[in-house]
Amino acid sequence: MSDLNIRIEGCAGRITLTRPKALNALTHEMGLEIERALDAWEGDAAVALVLIDAEGEKAFCAGGDIAAIHRNGSSGNYEATRAFWRDEYRMNARIRTYPKPVVALMQGFAMGGGVGLGCHAAHRVVGESTRIAMPECGIGLIPDAGGSFLLSRAPGRLGEYLGTTGDRMGPACAIHAGFANRFVPEELWSDLTARLCETGDPGIIADMAQDPGDSPLAARQDQIDADFAVPRMADVQADPDTMKALSRLSPLSSELSLRLIREVRSLTQIEDALELEYRCTHRLIEHGDLVEGIRAQVIDKDRTPHWQHASFADVPEALIDAYLAPIGTGELP
């Protein structure tokens, strides 16, 4: 299909996103195509590793196709988006548990669904332009696509901070937080790709990797840990920049995300984290702030979403419990 270039080159199964004008946003069909390729290559002895990359300089993948989510949600077609998430989350788990090495080269923006596509790979390569983030609370969603699993394993309270504020991580911060594990200058990526395809050996990445420099997040670790050790988002007292970022978020999504990340911290498998995420997203598309958040930030771009709750403190604890409760017959398979 035109949004993906899937092929075998040498020893590598290659998946290239080809929607640069749309910042390589992930559609439902793209997710299904990626999963089909992974299924086909698992038993193919000619494929030693899988390499996921993307065309364009601006983005590896800026997230899911939220315009489609808004279109379906605003018309009451909630099941279309739920089906997308069910298939996407299955693909996210597939990448993390894949029996062959998966390599992701992530330039530019890798956000939301892009994190789910690239940051569960065994070998996560970033470059100078990389900016990784989970900005879902700004549109009334929660960190999904397995994002809660990554956030829960970040050092200290970075998961709570990154999962709510949506702060963008450069290469050094992405490695510090566990969203990436190697920095390779982007001028070397063409050579890296050729050598991976020729040899099928992901050890080449370590040979070409360089020091990404100091992480600003690491320097702020102690303060972030103190700021986000509180029970609720309503209790956070941080620096002016952080408080300004928090003021833009959906109160419901933020309080829900805080709880979600902490509950996932006790889990050992990504599948269990995805199940909790799906309970939240399944409900948010119909009952939460998601449709309104996308309208304000992406469709009309007036940046004035009308959230259901005026503040974090207005979100009842019982409502957070309800969003995380089992769905019943609608659970993620």
- Give the catalytic positions in this structure: 64, 113, 136, 144
Report how far residue 296's alpha carbon sits from residue 249's, in angstroms, rounded to the nearest whole number. 12
User: How many C-beta atoms lie closer than 10 Å to residue 56's C-beta?
Assistant: 16
The angle at the Cα of 131, spanning 196 to 147, to the nearest 5 degrees, equals: 85
Contact by Cβ (8 Å): 127, 184 = yes
Quote the CA–CA distance of 135 and 158 in Å, as a whole number: 14
Q: Are 126 and 168 spatial neighbours (Cβ–Cβ below 8 Å)?
A: no
The backbone region for 130, taken as left when phi is positive above 0, alpha when psi lies in -120 to 50, beta otherwise, is beta
Burial 158-192 (b: 16+ CB within 10 A, else e): bbbbbbbbbbbbbbbbbbbbbbbbbbbebeebeeb
The H or E element spanning position 41 is helix 28-42
317-324 helix and 251-264 helix, angle to the nearest 10 degrees: 60
